[in-house]
Structure 1
Protein backbone atom coordinates (compact mmCIF):
# COMPACT_ATOMS: atom_id res chain seq x y z
CA UNK A 1 0.00 0.00 0.00
CA UNK A 2 1.23 3.45 -0.71
CA UNK A 3 1.29 6.34 1.72
CA UNK A 4 -1.46 8.44 0.09
CA UNK A 5 -3.94 5.54 0.21
CA UNK A 6 -3.30 5.07 3.95
CA UNK A 7 -3.98 8.78 4.53
CA UNK A 8 -7.25 8.43 2.65
CA UNK A 9 -8.34 5.43 4.70
CA UNK A 10 -7.53 7.28 7.93
CA UNK A 11 -9.61 10.25 6.77
CA UNK A 12 -12.59 8.01 5.99
CA UNK A 13 -12.30 6.27 9.38
CA UNK A 14 -12.15 9.63 11.13
CA UNK A 15 -15.19 10.86 9.22
CA UNK A 16 -17.16 7.80 10.30
CA UNK A 17 -16.07 7.89 13.97
CA UNK A 18 -16.09 11.66 14.61
CA UNK A 19 -19.88 12.04 15.11
CA UNK A 20 -19.92 9.21 17.66
CA UNK A 21 -16.92 10.61 19.52
CA UNK A 22 -18.49 14.09 19.63
CA UNK A 23 -21.78 12.62 20.84
CA UNK A 24 -19.93 10.82 23.62
CA UNK A 25 -18.06 13.97 24.65
CA UNK A 26 -21.20 16.16 24.67
CA UNK A 27 -23.28 13.52 26.47
CA UNK A 28 -20.62 13.25 29.18
CA UNK A 29 -20.59 17.03 29.53
CA UNK A 30 -24.40 17.17 29.81
CA UNK A 31 -24.40 14.41 32.42
CA UNK A 32 -21.87 16.36 34.49
CA UNK A 33 -23.92 19.55 34.11
CA UNK A 34 -27.08 17.67 35.12
CA UNK A 35 -25.44 16.28 38.27
CA UNK A 36 -24.05 19.71 39.16
CA UNK A 37 -27.47 21.38 38.77
CA UNK A 38 -29.26 18.69 40.75
CA UNK A 39 -26.69 19.01 43.53
CA UNK A 40 -27.11 22.79 43.50
CA UNK A 41 -30.90 22.44 43.64
CA UNK A 42 -30.82 20.06 46.62
CA UNK A 43 -28.39 22.33 48.49
CA UNK A 44 -30.59 25.38 47.84
CA UNK A 45 -33.71 23.54 49.05
CA UNK A 46 -31.92 22.33 52.18
CA UNK A 47 -30.62 25.82 53.03
CA UNK A 48 -34.04 27.36 52.38
CA UNK A 49 -35.65 24.71 54.60
CA UNK A 50 -33.30 25.46 57.47
CA UNK A 51 -34.05 29.17 57.12
CA UNK A 52 -37.80 28.54 57.00
CA UNK A 53 -37.72 26.29 60.05
CA UNK A 54 -36.05 29.02 62.08
CA UNK A 55 -38.27 31.90 60.86
CA UNK A 56 -41.74 30.38 60.30
CA UNK A 57 -43.19 31.05 63.75
CA UNK A 58 -42.61 34.65 64.76
CA UNK A 59 -45.24 34.32 67.51
CA UNK A 60 -43.43 31.40 69.22
CA UNK A 61 -46.62 29.43 69.81
CA UNK A 62 -47.31 25.71 69.68
CA UNK A 63 -49.05 25.96 66.29
CA UNK A 64 -48.15 27.72 63.09
CA UNK A 65 -50.42 30.43 61.71
CA UNK A 66 -53.43 28.99 59.90
CA UNK A 67 -53.51 29.64 57.02
CA UNK A 68 -49.74 29.61 56.65
CA UNK A 69 -49.25 32.77 54.58
CA UNK A 70 -46.62 35.51 54.35
CA UNK A 71 -48.65 38.06 56.28
CA UNK A 72 -48.83 35.71 59.28
CA UNK A 73 -45.16 34.70 59.43
CA UNK A 74 -43.32 37.96 58.76
CA UNK A 75 -42.77 37.33 55.02
CA UNK A 76 -41.00 34.03 55.74
CA UNK A 77 -42.42 32.38 52.60
CA UNK A 78 -41.26 35.12 50.21
CA UNK A 79 -37.85 35.28 51.91
CA UNK A 80 -37.49 31.48 51.70
CA UNK A 81 -38.36 31.52 48.00
CA UNK A 82 -35.86 34.35 47.41
CA UNK A 83 -33.20 32.38 49.27
CA UNK A 84 -33.92 29.38 47.09
CA UNK A 85 -33.90 31.42 43.87
CA UNK A 86 -31.14 33.98 44.45
CA UNK A 87 -29.14 32.72 47.40
CA UNK A 88 -30.28 35.63 49.58
CA UNK A 89 -33.53 36.64 51.28
CA UNK A 90 -34.04 39.69 49.07
CA UNK A 91 -34.94 39.71 45.39
CA UNK A 92 -31.89 39.30 43.16
CA UNK A 93 -31.24 40.00 39.51
CA UNK A 94 -31.01 36.45 38.14
CA UNK A 95 -31.74 33.04 39.68
CA UNK A 96 -28.90 30.70 40.59
CA UNK A 97 -30.46 27.98 38.40
CA UNK A 98 -31.50 29.32 35.01
CA UNK A 99 -35.22 28.81 34.45
CA UNK A 100 -36.15 28.32 38.12
CA UNK A 101 -39.05 30.58 39.12
CA UNK A 102 -41.03 31.23 42.30
CA UNK A 103 -43.94 29.35 40.70
CA UNK A 104 -41.84 26.17 40.76
CA UNK A 105 -41.65 26.31 44.57
CA UNK A 106 -44.38 25.12 46.93
CA UNK A 107 -44.24 25.61 50.70
CA UNK A 108 -46.88 24.00 52.90
CA UNK A 109 -47.51 22.58 56.35
CA UNK A 110 -48.20 18.86 56.02
CA UNK A 111 -50.22 17.70 57.84
CA UNK A 112 -51.84 20.91 59.05
CA UNK A 113 -51.14 21.51 62.73
CA UNK A 114 -47.97 19.40 62.83
CA UNK A 115 -45.42 22.25 62.51
CA UNK A 116 -43.84 20.14 59.73
CA UNK A 117 -43.06 22.37 56.76
CA UNK A 118 -42.42 20.85 53.35
CA UNK A 119 -40.64 22.67 50.55
CA UNK A 120 -41.25 21.11 47.14
CA UNK A 121 -39.46 22.25 43.99
CA UNK A 122 -40.13 21.12 40.44
CA UNK A 123 -37.33 22.39 38.18
CA UNK A 124 -37.59 21.88 34.43
CA UNK A 125 -34.05 20.90 33.46
CA UNK A 126 -33.02 21.85 29.94
CA UNK A 127 -30.00 20.44 28.12
CA UNK A 128 -27.47 23.02 27.02
CA UNK A 129 -27.49 22.04 23.36
CA UNK A 130 -31.26 21.89 22.85
CA UNK A 131 -34.48 20.48 24.21
CA UNK A 132 -35.00 17.90 21.51
CA UNK A 133 -32.87 15.34 19.75
CA UNK A 134 -33.63 15.17 16.06
CA UNK A 135 -34.14 11.81 14.44
CA UNK A 136 -33.46 13.15 10.93
CA UNK A 137 -36.94 12.25 9.67
CA UNK A 138 -36.89 8.70 11.02
CA UNK A 139 -39.59 9.34 13.63
CA UNK A 140 -40.67 11.82 16.25
CA UNK A 141 -38.05 14.02 17.87
CA UNK A 142 -36.91 12.90 21.32
CA UNK A 143 -37.57 15.34 24.17
CA UNK A 144 -34.45 15.63 26.33
CA UNK A 145 -35.82 17.96 29.03
CA UNK A 146 -37.36 16.62 32.22
CA UNK A 147 -38.37 17.74 35.69
CA UNK A 148 -36.05 17.51 38.65
CA UNK A 149 -38.24 17.22 41.73
CA UNK A 150 -36.95 17.57 45.24
CA UNK A 151 -38.62 17.92 48.64
CA UNK A 152 -37.32 18.92 52.02
CA UNK A 153 -39.25 18.71 55.29
CA UNK A 154 -38.34 20.61 58.43
CA UNK A 155 -40.05 21.18 61.76
CA UNK A 156 -40.59 24.82 62.64
CA UNK A 157 -38.75 25.82 65.80
Structure 2
Protein backbone atom coordinates (compact mmCIF):
# COMPACT_ATOMS: atom_id res chain seq x y z
CA UNK A 1 0.00 0.00 0.00
CA UNK A 2 1.25 3.50 -0.87
CA UNK A 3 1.64 6.09 1.79
CA UNK A 4 -0.46 9.28 1.45
CA UNK A 5 2.62 11.48 0.99
CA UNK A 6 3.87 9.32 -1.89
CA UNK A 7 0.45 9.49 -3.60
CA UNK A 8 0.53 13.30 -3.38
CA UNK A 9 3.97 13.38 -4.99
CA UNK A 10 2.83 11.21 -7.88
CA UNK A 11 -0.34 13.19 -8.56
CA UNK A 12 1.39 16.56 -8.19
CA UNK A 13 4.09 15.78 -10.75
CA UNK A 14 1.47 14.28 -13.05
CA UNK A 15 -0.62 17.47 -12.87
CA UNK A 16 2.35 19.70 -13.60
CA UNK A 17 3.00 17.80 -16.84
CA UNK A 18 -0.66 18.00 -17.76
CA UNK A 19 -0.66 21.77 -17.29
CA UNK A 20 2.24 22.10 -19.74
CA UNK A 21 0.38 20.01 -22.33
CA UNK A 22 -2.74 22.16 -21.93
CA UNK A 23 -0.65 25.33 -22.25
CA UNK A 24 1.00 23.99 -25.41
CA UNK A 25 -2.39 23.32 -26.96
CA UNK A 26 -4.14 26.52 -25.86
CA UNK A 27 -1.38 29.13 -26.29
CA UNK A 28 -1.50 29.29 -30.13
CA UNK A 29 -5.29 29.54 -30.07
CA UNK A 30 -5.20 32.28 -27.46
CA UNK A 31 -2.59 34.22 -29.46
CA UNK A 32 -4.69 34.01 -32.64
CA UNK A 33 -7.77 35.26 -30.77
CA UNK A 34 -5.77 38.06 -29.15
CA UNK A 35 -4.30 39.22 -32.47
CA UNK A 36 -7.69 39.03 -34.22
CA UNK A 37 -9.25 41.15 -31.47
CA UNK A 38 -6.42 43.69 -31.70
CA UNK A 39 -6.79 43.85 -35.49
CA UNK A 40 -10.55 44.38 -35.22
CA UNK A 41 -10.00 47.18 -32.71
CA UNK A 42 -7.44 48.78 -35.01
CA UNK A 43 -9.89 48.61 -37.95
CA UNK A 44 -12.65 50.23 -35.90
CA UNK A 45 -10.26 52.95 -34.74
CA UNK A 46 -9.26 53.65 -38.36
CA UNK A 47 -12.90 53.80 -39.45
CA UNK A 48 -13.70 56.20 -36.60
CA UNK A 49 -10.76 58.42 -37.59
CA UNK A 50 -11.92 58.51 -41.22
CA UNK A 51 -15.49 59.31 -40.19
CA UNK A 52 -14.41 62.20 -37.97
CA UNK A 53 -12.11 63.54 -40.69
CA UNK A 54 -14.78 63.45 -43.40
CA UNK A 55 -17.20 65.34 -41.13
CA UNK A 56 -14.55 67.96 -40.30
CA UNK A 57 -13.71 68.41 -43.98
CA UNK A 58 -17.35 68.68 -45.02
CA UNK A 59 -17.95 71.26 -42.30
CA UNK A 60 -15.00 73.28 -43.64
CA UNK A 61 -16.30 73.11 -47.20
CA UNK A 62 -19.87 73.97 -46.17
CA UNK A 63 -18.63 77.28 -44.76
CA UNK A 64 -16.58 78.07 -47.87
CA UNK A 65 -18.78 76.85 -50.73
CA UNK A 66 -21.68 79.32 -51.03
CA UNK A 67 -21.22 81.76 -53.88
CA UNK A 68 -23.37 84.41 -55.52
CA UNK A 69 -26.65 86.01 -54.58
CA UNK A 70 -28.69 82.82 -54.93
CA UNK A 71 -26.61 81.11 -52.24
CA UNK A 72 -26.04 78.02 -54.37
CA UNK A 73 -23.22 75.63 -53.58
CA UNK A 74 -20.33 76.23 -55.94
CA UNK A 75 -17.50 73.75 -55.57
CA UNK A 76 -14.31 75.65 -56.30
CA UNK A 77 -11.35 73.36 -57.11
CA UNK A 78 -9.07 75.30 -54.77
CA UNK A 79 -11.50 74.77 -51.88
CA UNK A 80 -11.83 71.08 -52.78
CA UNK A 81 -8.04 70.72 -52.67
CA UNK A 82 -7.99 72.39 -49.26
CA UNK A 83 -10.77 70.06 -48.09
CA UNK A 84 -8.81 67.00 -49.20
CA UNK A 85 -5.67 68.25 -47.48
CA UNK A 86 -7.66 68.93 -44.31
CA UNK A 87 -9.06 65.40 -44.31
CA UNK A 88 -5.76 63.66 -45.07
CA UNK A 89 -3.24 65.83 -43.17
CA UNK A 90 -5.37 67.71 -40.66
CA UNK A 91 -4.52 71.12 -42.17
CA UNK A 92 -5.39 72.96 -45.37
CA UNK A 93 -1.76 73.44 -46.43
CA UNK A 94 -1.25 69.71 -47.03
CA UNK A 95 1.84 69.36 -44.87
CA UNK A 96 2.71 66.86 -42.18
CA UNK A 97 1.96 63.20 -41.79
CA UNK A 98 -1.24 61.53 -42.90
CA UNK A 99 -3.95 60.76 -40.38
CA UNK A 100 -4.15 57.11 -41.49
CA UNK A 101 -1.36 55.00 -42.97
CA UNK A 102 -1.68 54.71 -46.75
CA UNK A 103 -4.39 57.37 -46.93
CA UNK A 104 -4.12 59.96 -49.72
CA UNK A 105 -6.17 62.65 -51.43
CA UNK A 106 -7.02 60.18 -54.22
CA UNK A 107 -9.24 58.30 -51.73
CA UNK A 108 -11.59 61.32 -51.47
CA UNK A 109 -14.32 62.39 -53.89
CA UNK A 110 -16.47 65.51 -53.65
CA UNK A 111 -19.65 65.80 -55.72
CA UNK A 112 -22.49 68.32 -55.79
CA UNK A 113 -25.62 66.71 -54.39
CA UNK A 114 -28.18 69.41 -55.05
CA UNK A 115 -28.10 73.18 -55.47
CA UNK A 116 -27.55 73.59 -51.72
CA UNK A 117 -25.84 70.30 -50.80
CA UNK A 118 -22.66 68.43 -51.58
CA UNK A 119 -21.37 64.95 -50.78
CA UNK A 120 -17.90 63.96 -49.56
CA UNK A 121 -16.93 60.27 -49.92
CA UNK A 122 -13.92 58.41 -48.57
CA UNK A 123 -13.03 55.02 -50.02
CA UNK A 124 -10.10 53.49 -48.14
CA UNK A 125 -8.79 49.94 -48.11
CA UNK A 126 -7.73 48.86 -44.64
CA UNK A 127 -4.71 46.56 -44.58
CA UNK A 128 -4.06 44.53 -41.43
CA UNK A 129 -0.66 44.90 -39.80
CA UNK A 130 0.30 41.30 -40.68
CA UNK A 131 -0.28 41.58 -44.41
CA UNK A 132 -3.17 41.76 -46.82
CA UNK A 133 -3.37 38.04 -47.67
CA UNK A 134 -3.92 34.99 -45.49
CA UNK A 135 -1.90 32.04 -46.72
CA UNK A 136 -3.50 28.59 -46.77
CA UNK A 137 -0.09 26.93 -47.23
CA UNK A 138 -0.88 25.42 -50.62
CA UNK A 139 -4.30 24.06 -49.68
CA UNK A 140 -6.07 26.60 -51.86
CA UNK A 141 -5.91 30.19 -53.00
CA UNK A 142 -4.78 32.77 -50.49
CA UNK A 143 -7.55 34.74 -48.81
CA UNK A 144 -7.64 38.52 -49.24
CA UNK A 145 -8.14 39.99 -45.75
CA UNK A 146 -8.19 43.69 -46.64
CA UNK A 147 -11.33 45.52 -45.56
CA UNK A 148 -12.90 48.33 -47.62
CA UNK A 149 -13.78 51.22 -45.31
CA UNK A 150 -16.23 53.64 -46.93
CA UNK A 151 -17.73 56.65 -45.25
CA UNK A 152 -19.56 59.66 -46.62
CA UNK A 153 -21.41 62.73 -45.51
CA UNK A 154 -23.90 65.03 -47.22
CA UNK A 155 -23.81 68.59 -45.96
CA UNK A 156 -25.52 71.85 -46.79
CA UNK A 157 -23.59 74.97 -47.61
CA UNK A 158 -23.90 77.64 -44.92
CA UNK A 159 -22.77 81.22 -44.47
On whether the aligned pair clears a TM of 0.5, the verdict is: yes
Counterpart of 2:83? 80
The change in CA–CA distance for 1:87 and 1:144 in structure 2 (over 3 A counts) is same
TM-score by length of 1: 0.86
Q: Which of the residues 80, 105, 109 maps onto 2:108?
A: 105
Structure 1 CA distance for aligned equivalents of residues 45 and 155 of structure 2: 24
Please give the secondary structure, in 1, of the residue aligned with 2:125: strand
TM-score by length of 2: 0.85
Instruction: Assess if the C-alpha contact under 8 Å between 2:65 and 2:76 holds in 1.
Output: no
Deviations 1:16-59 (A, max 9, x none): 11111001111111111111111111000001000000011354
Please give the secondary structure, in 2, of the residue aligned with 1:154: strand
Compare CA radii of gyration and give the structure with the larger one.
Answer: 2
Please give the secondary structure, in 2, of the residue aligned with 1:12: helix
Indicate the larger mover: 40-49 or 2-11.
2-11
Matches within 5 A, 1:45-124: 45-59=54-68, 61-65=70-74, 68-70=75-77, 75-111=78-114, 114-124=115-125
Indicate the larger mover: 36-45 or 131-140.
131-140
Quote the RMSD (CA, aligned, Å): 1.7
* Paired residue total: 149
